[in-house]
Structure 1
């Protein structure tokens, strides 16, 4: 099969200059009493080793918001974590400040929460901003975040960040989803920054509820420029809060970001259906069928950039749903991540670990993007049986994608129109009964149509995927 441009072209657009799109978050989500005070300036101080052992699991007392003191752990001197439980407005979440003194000294993490249970209700893990540094000793340091996050999420984001020891390559921008929250990580190399003399690289981590890589790539690039200049989260937080409350941050030196310039639909259309069809040809119908039936798709490629460009495009094959929550573009073979993934009904999951091919419990369809191979699991072969209808759809997809005069959005429209025809046929075979508002498939009507066996089988399983079967 022909080789996709995903393997030959740089990831332009996402990693290049930002094109205008939309970002919006209601100002009501920001605490009215928020003040940006008391952040620790990382400056030029030498950092002590900051390993995962510094963050043991959160205790029940801490979750309740009460004061907690931990005994020193790990090597390299004393350390203390304090969750302030003093009086204050319920639900207020403070930034985590990490003080890093001389080697062998201590660090202190202060969480200015009051009323921890109420704070947790704000979904602190769903929207936050963090900074991770790699120093001249090669240590990855979680230096700052707002608001506080759980130990589980810290571990996850350090694993996704390319600054940890097991990751050797620098990934400029990565994104993914974990438990209905999206993470976006921009990483830069530090060169000639007086404010970050002991830092070689750093990552800005931003978590949000919506899928829009271009939006967050543009915003985190601006935050990176600010951090490079000041080496402190204070100025960075000013821009972050400005965007959350006013929808804009402006700076002649660092660039401007305007929320209304970003649109979610443009993010949905940013990938290239033509590239996918160019690589897989008629086998694209397998991907289409799997998505229509809400099956589990696993994609492997050693390059995370290739995975993300490919997987983010797949939901467009079922445009009538416009559901990108099925996308998990960056997953590790980690127990917690896999358990969260398995909790999803159907998904598209990207892996850079080739061992995923042996994990048949994770997929119904396996895509080896590097070798342009698609494998259907024996478990779903009956539901995925191909027939005349599938051939017609496959030919339509290929012909539309190969038309040089058609854009990717036009190809998506052609596929969507065919999908609507299929759904209209299915709707004509349904009935409303037993007082149910939603119509269900009439099995007898389906049989009376005398469709080819593969078509009848597909429509039946499609009805199941659309929750149109009587239970």
Structure 2
């Protein structure tokens, strides 16, 4: 298979969600058929009753990414007389919001123009088999680029100041992070930035960029154990059993859950990291990549030091105690070792 076809073959399913004249939101059509749980999740997340639904968005449920495009202007139309808004959802095993968001938009426009699900199927199958369909080509959206595109990383240290280190600490120690921002367009770039703080892990699978708080989604979070979840309503703030830190973007505040406080005691290394993040973000020409590099160097320094307390490859509680470090530092060092898989 060609590279382009491989890039299309990460596709899993496509579904059309509609808001009808009676105010009901339902999955009108899907291929190759999707289960009830996924149906309910995409109906909730599509927010078709919300006039401010963004043109494209993405999230993840269990082990699948899903990307969707929403259209409301020009509806109802001659082709779709009973439809007030629609979204096309593309599920994929691959993380690439630009690639699959633009595919969802292309398919949504084809459906709006014709009112024919067969047109959506045709475009989807072309994308799946060849990596191309009129108006879209997988190759135009590099997978590597998706890891740094449309991210707020260079802005976060300016928004939160030195407190931004709390987010780094949460990511480093594999804690549960909830990010709150009312506008999806502002929320997604923040959620996308967080795995960049632990670039060496290359783990985007922990993201649940948009979560509405339904039972199925909360069960998925519990199964995941470690996650960065985005919410557009503040109600989950009152559920500290679901998060270790709560990041309020518009409020420029970061709250640490009572139960997690012992893992968020700030020591000298945290002050250094805060300085690196704020310095990198304020440097001339700062962008996501320059901040990623600056923090990656600092993180590597930390993990190397920690392994060095042990035998260079792993470290035990006894090794750390023997160093005579302050209690909070000992806790932090061991917690990093556990998260990095080098504790023994």
**1:241-252 superposed matches below 5 A:** 241-250=125-134
1:173 equivalenced with 2:52 (yes/no)? no
**1:320-469 superposed matches below 5 A:** 320-431=200-311, 439-469=313-343
User: Please, what is the CA RMSD of the aligned residues?
Assistant: 2.2
Q: Deviations over 1:209-263 (max 9, x none)?
A: 122111111111111221122110222222211111111123xxxx2x2222222
Please give the alpha-carbon distance, in whole angstroms, between the structure 2 residues aligned to 1:345 and 1:425. 28
- The Cα shift of 1:168 comes to 4.5
Greater Rg over alpha carbons, structure: 1
Please give the alpha-carbon distance, in whole angstroms, between the structure 1 residues aligned to 2:205 and 2:45. 19
- The Cα shift of 1:431 comes to 4.0
Q: TM-score, normalised by structure 2?
A: 0.92
Contact 2:4 2:130 in 1 (8 A): no
1:236 equivalenced with 2:120 (yes/no)? yes
Question: Counterpart in 2 of 1:186?
Answer: 69
2:263 alignment partner, SS class: coil
Please give the alpha-carbon distance, in whole angstroms, between the structure 2 residues aligned to 1:203 and 1:263. 24
1:455 alignment partner, SS class: helix
- The Cα shift of 1:338 comes to 0.8
- The Cα shift of 1:359 comes to 0.2
1:224 equivalenced with 2:224 (yes/no)? no
1:177 alignment partner, SS class: strand
Question: Counterpart in 1 of 2:13?
Answer: 128
**1:194-273 superposed matches below 5 A:** 194-250=78-134, 255=135, 257-270=136-149, 271-273=151-153
Q: Deviations over 1:151-184 (max 9, x none)?
A: 12111111111224xx453332221111111111
Structure 1: state its 5+ residue gaps: 1-21, 30-125, 433-438
Please give the alpha-carbon distance, in whole angstroms, between the structure 2 residues aligned to 1:275 and 1:406. 9
Distance change >3 Å, CA 157–CA 27, structure 1 → 2: closer
Q: TM-score, normalised by structure 1?
A: 0.68
Q: Deviations over 1:257-303 (max 9, x none)?
A: 22222222211112021211110010110000110000111112222
Please give the alpha-carbon distance, in whole angstroms, between the structure 2 residues aligned to 1:318 and 1:333. 26
Contact 2:177 2:227 in 1 (8 A): yes
Distance change >3 Å, CA 239–CA 382, structure 1 → 2: same
Please give the alpha-carbon distance, in whole angstroms, between the structure 2 residues aligned to 1:214 and 1:179. 21
Structure 2: state its 5+ residue gaps: none
User: How many residues are aligned here?
Assistant: 340
Distance change >3 Å, CA 28–CA 377, structure 1 → 2: closer
Deviates more, 1:295-304 or 1:445-454: 445-454
2:224 alignment partner, SS class: coil
- The Cα shift of 1:27 comes to 7.5
- The Cα shift of 1:425 comes to 1.1
Please give the alpha-carbon distance, in whole angstroms, between the structure 1 residues aligned to 2:86 and 2:188. 21
1:306 equivalenced with 2:186 (yes/no)? yes
Question: Counterpart in 1 of 2:27?
Answer: 142
Greater helix content: 2
Q: 2:177 aligns with which of 279, 297, 318?
A: 297
1:323 alignment partner, SS class: coil
Distance change >3 Å, CA 392–CA 24, structure 1 → 2: farther
